[in-house]
Amino acid sequence: MTPPIPEDKKQLRLKFHGRVIDHLGIQMYQSPVAAIAELISNAWDADAEDVKITLPSTMTTGAVIEISDNGNGMTFEQCQERYLNVGYDCRVGVAAATSSGKLRPVLGRKGIGKFAGFGIAQKMVVETISGQNGERTVFELNLATLRGDEYITEGGQIDVSEYEMPSEPMKARHGTKIVLHNLSLQRAQNADQFARSMSRRFLLAQRVDDFKILVNGAPIPDDADLDGAEFVFPRDYEATQKPAAVEIEPNGWGKEDIGGGRLVRWRFHFYKDTIKEDELRGVSIFANGKLAQRPFDFNITGGISGQQGLEYLSGRVEADYIDLLPVDLIATERQRVNWEHPEALPLLIWGRKRVDELCRLWKEKRASDKVKALESKLANFSLRLAALPKSEQKTVKRALAKLAQISALTTKQFEDLGDAILTSWEAGRLRDLIHDLSEAEEMSTEDFVGLLMEANVLTALNTYEAVSTKVALIEGLRVKVEKNELELDVRDYIAENPWLISPRWETFKVETAIKTALADLLPAKYKPEDDEKGWNRRMDLLLASGDTLLILEFMQPGKVLDIGHISRFEYYITTIRNYIEANTGGRFKRCAGYLIANTPMKDPAVLKIAESKAKDDMLFMDWGTMLAEAERQFEDLIDTLRDRAPEDSRLKDLKGAA
Ligand SMILES: Nc1ncnc2c1ncn2[C@@H]1O[C@H](COP(=O)(O)OP(=O)(O)OP(=O)(O)O)[C@@H](O)[C@H]1O
Ligand SMILES: [Mg+2]
């Protein structure tokens, strides 16, 4: 038998040291967003419609953060009984409690949230005006003092710094303002970043119209995170994929009973690129509109088929029921659900299943989108592919498909490269390389760079071929011109294809409509067909580029420029310019002209007059000069081509050709 207990040993006493506050505040809410989220939650519970947060722009010693709400406020009595009562149960034993006026689901539960302020500040000044009686109370909580009080159970002294008796007119000014002093933050917060982070902790502002959170005067953003999403579920379920249990709400969220009346609402976003931000990547769980679990992956262990998808996934799940259970499933620091608890298990199992299934769908969708994109890319080449023999088609197509899968290539780059590959194939080159490429499972960077270089050389070689043909042609023309042997039809052909003789005119297009209109403007006696002095029988060529018209007249080689040609040519140009001036609405603003004829060596006066017209965009050129000039330009082009890959033996070999 145990002996009787002496009178003075009958009771022990539970004592709380002031340091407990450290565990409740400082250690749990070190991020300003997490800390202030608690103060916002209190404003919601107090039926506030606006919570205004003012952040300091610089982190000076006197900097403060203010959180003010227009909620019910507190009477002096309530400050004592509720605010200063650590562990006070505002739900008074009923888990599904609602606020007094607006009947909002109450977020507060643990009776410690106010200490969150101590996570980022040494001192909190609370100013509150009760809507009930208009009483105003101001008091200060100072961490150093509270900590120093050995036993706060025996009554931590809190001094009231200002007090005003209950009064009718003050009732209208109800609300609470918390000012955080002596901030322990290194840097000033970026207000935009802060607002974005805060918006990820609350769905409240999106759900109801009568609650606004403002940061430095601006409301926190609404679903800003939607940008950049590639797939959104349940929206992007195909008919056969949507689980029967999932109902899609008008706002795009899915709703389902995960068993036993546990309702969840959810929306999963898969981004185009991997998500770099920790507070976005993963699935967040909300209870009554407030974050209860930071983004996580439902603690999935072991591989799932679309594992990679987790890097792209940002999901939100609303599971209000977890905050209405008799047990408090949300961990003290409110960033985590207590998943060890049996009551949390159904949500964990559901979450794993959804994540697994949606990551698999993501993988399939991505693959099929890629195939579609690939096919549309290849479609551009289909005609050219079809012209190849069947067996070759397959190889080239496979090689192009391999290229198209390289995500780093832009569409334009792919097209250029595809073009180079086809051209080279058609020219009988590159076969080995393309063959290798089509066989390759995955191309290494090295091989790819090799291919790019090869394509570059091949394009240069192809261009070289085209250019050198032109050079040869010009040489032939020059010989003929020198001998005054240029037949009229060759000259006409040049007139129609002026880019043959000068790369300068490559960007110009033949303008026929205007040419016809102009022919009628010229007086009959100036019409070229009347001319017997070697004028072409019609206006040779009218070219257009942008807002400029370029008129080209080719005299028969051997015909020497004279004063009559010059004035006739001037008349032409002037007629065209008058036409342009009369048609200010048209696209042309300028007109320039070239007259190609042999130089009047014997008449320096004519030469002088011709030269003087140059400043008026009327240019005269000798056939020989023009052709020599064209040759030189094309040769420059060949040099440029050779510079593309100076080490390549095929391009080196071109030296002799130029
Ligand atoms: N801004 C406010 N306006 C009116 N009353 C407030 C405000 N902030 C706190 N209170 C009162 O003080 C009490 C204590 O707040 P505290 O945040 O510490 O605990 P809680 O909200 O009850 O629970 P939890 O720890 O889960 O947040 C609240 O229940 C509320 O009655
Ligand atoms: Mg609270």
Q: What CATH number is given to the structural domain containing 84?
A: 3.30.565.10
Q: Is the CB of 109 under 6 A from ligand 1?
A: yes
**Reported pTM:** 0.62
And the tokens for 76?
């002096």
Q: Are residues 105 and 231 in the same domain?
A: no
> Which residue numbers in the chain have pLDDT < 50?
529-537, 656-658
Q: How far is the CA of 413 from the centre of ligand 2 (A)?
A: 57
Residue 405 falls inside a structural domain = no
And the tokens for 87?
């562990």
pLDDT at residue 444, rounded to an integer: 65
- HSE value, Cβ hemisphere, 13 Å, CA-based, for 222: 9
Atom of ligand 1 nearest to the CA of 334: 26
- Our measurement of the distance from residue 162's CA atom to the centroid of its chain's CA atoms, rounded to an integer in Å, reads 52
pLDDT at residue 293, rounded to an integer: 95
pLDDT at residue 501, rounded to an integer: 62
And the tokens for 249?
């709400």
Q: Are residues 149 and 243 in the same domain?
A: no
Residue 61 falls inside a structural domain = yes
Residue 376 falls inside a structural domain = no
Q: Are residues 237 and 107 in the same domain?
A: no
Residue 467 falls inside a structural domain = no
Q: Is the CB of 111 under 6 A from ligand 1?
A: yes
Q: Are residues 123 and 239 in the same domain?
A: no
Q: Are residues 519 and 534 in the same domain?
A: yes
pLDDT at residue 224, rounded to an integer: 64
Question: How would you write 218-253 as a 3-class SS string?
Answer: EECCCCHHHCCEEEEECCCCCCCCCCCCCEECCCCC
pLDDT at residue 218, rounded to an integer: 94
pLDDT at residue 294, rounded to an integer: 93
pLDDT at residue 338, rounded to an integer: 94
Residue 477 falls inside a structural domain = no
Q: Is the CB of 71 under 6 A from ligand 1?
A: yes
Query: Which run of H or E residues covers position 314?
Result: strand 313-318
Q: List the domain range (segments joined by +) for residue 264.
A: 224-359
- HSE value, Cβ hemisphere, 13 Å, CA-based, for 327: 10
pLDDT at residue 194, rounded to an integer: 94
Within 8 A by CB and 6+ apart from 531, the residues are: 537, 568
Q: How far is the CA of 87 from the centre of ligand 1 (A)?
A: 10
Q: Are residues 289 and 182 in the same domain?
A: no
User: Of 326, 359, 392, which residue is a domain's last?
Assistant: 359
Within 8 A by CB and 6+ apart from 328, the residues are: 109, 110
Residue 246 falls inside a structural domain = yes
| φ, ψ (nearest 5 deg) of residue 443 | -90, 135
At position 224, the amino acid (one-letter code) is A
Residue 365 falls inside a structural domain = no
Q: Are residues 188 and 242 in the same domain?
A: no
Q: Are residues 592 and 611 in the same domain?
A: yes
Rounded to whole angstroms, the Cα distance separating 535 from 518 reads 17
Question: Which residue CA neighbors atom 13 of ligand 1 most closely?
Answer: 83
Q: Are residues 208 and 230 in the same domain?
A: no
Q: Are residues 289 and 173 in the same domain?
A: no
Q: Are residues 506 and 583 in the same domain?
A: yes
Domain count, the chain: 3
Measuring CA to CA, which residue among 213, 194, 218, 223 is closest to residue 42?
A: 213
User: Of 329, 359, 389, which residue is a domain's last?
Assistant: 359
Q: Are residues 172 and 284 in the same domain?
A: no
pLDDT at residue 534, rounded to an integer: 41
Q: Which ligand is nearest to the CA of 117?
A: 1
pLDDT at residue 530, rounded to an integer: 45
pLDDT at residue 637, rounded to an integer: 76
User: Of 316, 334, 359, which residue is a domain's last?
Assistant: 359
Question: Ligand 1 pocket: which of 52, 75, 76, 114 to mutate (most atoms <8 Å of CB)?
Answer: 114
- CATH at 249: 3.30.230
pLDDT at residue 653, rounded to an integer: 67
Question: Ligand 1 pocket: which of 23, 36, 90, 104 to mutate (most atoms <8 Å of CB)?
Answer: 90
Question: Which residue CA neighbors atom 6 of ligand 1 most closely?
Answer: 42
Residue 390 falls inside a structural domain = no
Q: How is residue 409 annotated by DSSP?
A: S
